[in-house]
Structure 1
Amino acid sequence: MKKRLHKWRLIALLGIVGLVLSGCGEPFLSALKPAGNVAQSQYDLLILSTLIMVLVIIVVVILFVVVLLRFRRKEGDETIPKQIEGSHKLEIIWTVIPILLLIVLAVPTVVTTFDLADTKAMDKKDKDGKTKDALVVNVRANLYWWEFEYPDLGVVTSQDLVVPTDQKVYFNLTASDVKHSFWVPAAGGKMDTNTDGVNQFFLEFDSKKAEDSNNLFYGKCAELCGPSHALMDFKVVTKSKSDFEAWTKDMKSAKEPTVTGDLAKQGEDVFNQSCIGCHAVTPNDSRPEAARQAPNLATFGEREKVAGVLDHTEQNVKNWIKDPEKYKPGNTMTGTYGELSDSQINALAAYLLQLKVEGK
């Protein structure tokens, strides 16, 4: 009796722990709070399939309880209940009902799948080879950072994806090293980024939902890609159409950064000697993709995170430069440059924190 009671207590404890853990997590990483048409369509399918499954479970449980109570054998009763084997009526019922449920689920699923796979707008080009009526972003996943290139605008950013609201944004997804997966939970389902092909899809951000989220969403890598997979985050900033056009203008017209102060100027020299081979400091970077081996740092001074994971403080910038392996194991920056002295790190941090796009 005590052993049984102990088992039930253990089961109850595990149930409570599971319930508590199900409520953990960050609200801005929830797929259950859709912020656009794509996410809403997928959410509606999720609710439909869940309702069908719950309905089936309820019916099965009710039938089970009825049979258990009504037809259980009583002591001394040798009566055999009426057998229904071969009943055409019942066989038709329990065959037709699942078929109808599958149709109810399959039709909207197939329709939505084809709608969300429609990227024909990306193929319509003007005489200059630019996409005519669609905003296209080339997403390139790397160990462990993200690059966002706006090919028709001549703009490249890293870690921060900037998109307009109430408009479809089309994506070309690739990877530089291993397979990753691009996922903005609030905007829509994930899609793999491969090294040997390009995947395409679109997302759309609702302006009202974006306003409720302070025009800020977060994305992650959803494919196990290495020791720092869980740290491969990026930020999504949403803007109105007019604000996005203003942002685009600032980014396209940005010039080489000009820093002030002796320490920052010393840091610029250190950067040009140690970092410029991989990093760029202008968003209108015209180098080919193969030459862009590290995140674009043009807007580094405006970011909210260092390396996507640390709070954007001067000390954290220094910590990252000194020992990136400590914060993102397996990152490609580790071991790619010589040892810097503390004074060089201080100067480099001062320089990086002044990297901002003019006009903002």
Structure 2
Amino acid sequence: MKMLAKWRLLSLFTLMALVLSGCGEPYLSTLRPAGEVAQSQYELMLLSTAIMVGVIAVVTIIFIYVIMKFRRKNDNEIPKQVEGSHKLEILWTVIPILLLLILAVPTVAATFKLADVSPMEKKNAEGKTDALVINVRANLYWWEFEYPNEEIITSQDLVVPTDEKVYFNLKASDVKHSFWIPSVGGKMDTNTDNINKFWLEFDSKGADEAGGLFYGKCAELCGPSHALMDFKVKALPRAEFDQWVAGMQGVKEPVKAETATAQQGQEIFNNSCIGCHAVTPANTAPEAARVGPNLTNFGDRSRVAGVMDMSEENIKKWLEDPEAYKPANKMTGKYAELSEEELDALTEYLMGLKVQK
């Protein structure tokens, strides 16, 4: 009875795992593709799964049939011995080959299609690409997105147009990371010694289902805060994307603080934080000001440090002790202790860094 109870419990957990494996939000699920790349990979996954399930089903049926058909009827009966059957040998050699071909042909075709990044190499008369190209730089533990054609840089929030191919140059600043937007396409490593290239397409229908927002992850173990190395992807119609670009390009100098408290916060920022954080989106910012995330549109974001909801309270928590929320991040140990008044002032200034009106 105890053994039966254990088997029932095991069966229940197995069923729960099967059901839960199909759960997922539209903004963070590989099983709900929202783009051409994701759809292609999803279809290949379904094909391989169908082949595996088919093989298991056929083998199981044959196994049961053989057991029932050729079982020994009595102790004196010896079943007919079959040895060296050419038909069987040909059959179990040809069938796996055919199954491999059925899986290999579309896989290889999709691999070459998804690896075609030639449009990002073609320059026009202005020396720029007609295709949208984004340079992704992975850092411990945040992401930088540079739009070379548009001459702007942002961090943590990747903004892209829908229904067109977006090309990426991927590189890491420190250790190996991996760029992954589960709903839109498979991951690609970011290395320190070479640049990887690939493209994604963000489907407008899928973006609508996800509320125009997807989540990206680092898919390569990179340190203590690997699980917290997230970023957001805002997928916008082309017209709205162009408006966002124009808004970012319009920021030629840091946003000026309006209140006395915010002005005090700006002074604190300029005396310390500016050494690592830029507050203008121009891609001419010195490398020293790219040690930390670009904060030009910090006030427009919905998260602090990529993992905390945007609020004055959470900004203060982060400024007081970043190590508590992202262990081993580069900001840890590099900030001065601030009084409550200074924290309030710096928080107000940071929340005022907005581009979207």
TM range (shorter): over 0.9
Rate the CA distance shift 1:11–1:214 in 2: closer, same or farther, 3 A.
closer
Larger deviation: 111-120 or 340-349?
340-349
Q: For each residue in 1:97-141, what CA deviation from the matched residue of structure 2 results, as whole angstroms up to 9, or x when unmatched?
A: 11111111000000000000000111111344322x211000001
Does residue 1:146 correspond to 2:123, yes or no?
no
Q: What is the identity, as a one-letter code, of the residue corresponding to 1:233?
A: D
**Separation in structure 2 between the aligned mates of residue 116 and residue 230 of structure 1, nearest angstrom:** 27
CA contact (8 A) 2:279 2:294 kept: yes
- What does residue range 39-78 of structure 1 map to in structure 2 within 5 Å? 39-76=38-75, 78=76
| Structure 1 stretches lacking a partner, 5+ long | none
Q: By how many angstroms is 1:83 displaced?
A: 2.4
Identity level (%): 64
- What does residue range 273-292 of structure 1 map to in structure 2 within 5 Å? 273-289=271-287, 291-292=289-290
Q: What is the identity, as a one-letter code, of the residue corresponding to 2:152?
A: V
Partner-residue secondary structure (3-state), 2:138: strand
**Separation in structure 2 between the aligned mates of residue 344 and residue 53 of structure 1, nearest angstrom:** 62
Runs of 4+ in structure 1 off by over 3 angstroms are 23-27, 288-291
CA contact (8 A) 2:164 2:202 kept: yes
Q: State how many pairs are aligned.
A: 356
Q: By how many angstroms is 1:81 displaced?
A: 2.1
Rate the CA distance shift 1:300–1:211 in 2: closer, same or farther, 3 A.
same
Q: By how many angstroms is 1:211 displaced?
A: 1.7
Given the alignment, which residue of 228, 232, 236 partners 2:233?
236
Give 2:117's aligned residue: 119
Does residue 1:32 correspond to 2:31, yes or no?
yes
- What does residue range 90-239 of structure 1 map to in structure 2 within 5 Å? 90-131=88-129, 133-239=130-236
TM-score scaled by structure 2? 0.96
Q: What is the identity, as a one-letter code, of the residue corresponding to 2:115?
A: A
**Separation in structure 1 between the aligned mates of residue 142 and residue 102 of structure 2, nearest angstrom:** 41
Give 1:272's aligned residue: 270
CA contact (8 A) 2:146 2:154 kept: yes
Partner-residue secondary structure (3-state), 1:276: helix
CA contact (8 A) 2:181 2:215 kept: yes
CA contact (8 A) 2:26 2:183 kept: no
Larger deviation: 317-326 or 20-29?
20-29
Rate the CA distance shift 1:145–1:98 in 2: closer, same or farther, 3 A.
same
Q: By how many angstroms is 1:241 displaced?
A: 1.3
CA contact (8 A) 2:137 2:143 kept: yes
Rate the CA distance shift 1:40–1:289 in 2: closer, same or farther, 3 A.
farther
**Separation in structure 1 between the aligned mates of residue 289 and residue 277 of structure 2, nearest angstrom:** 9
Rate the CA distance shift 1:143–1:217 in 2: closer, same or farther, 3 A.
same
Rate the CA distance shift 1:69–1:289 in 2: closer, same or farther, 3 A.
farther
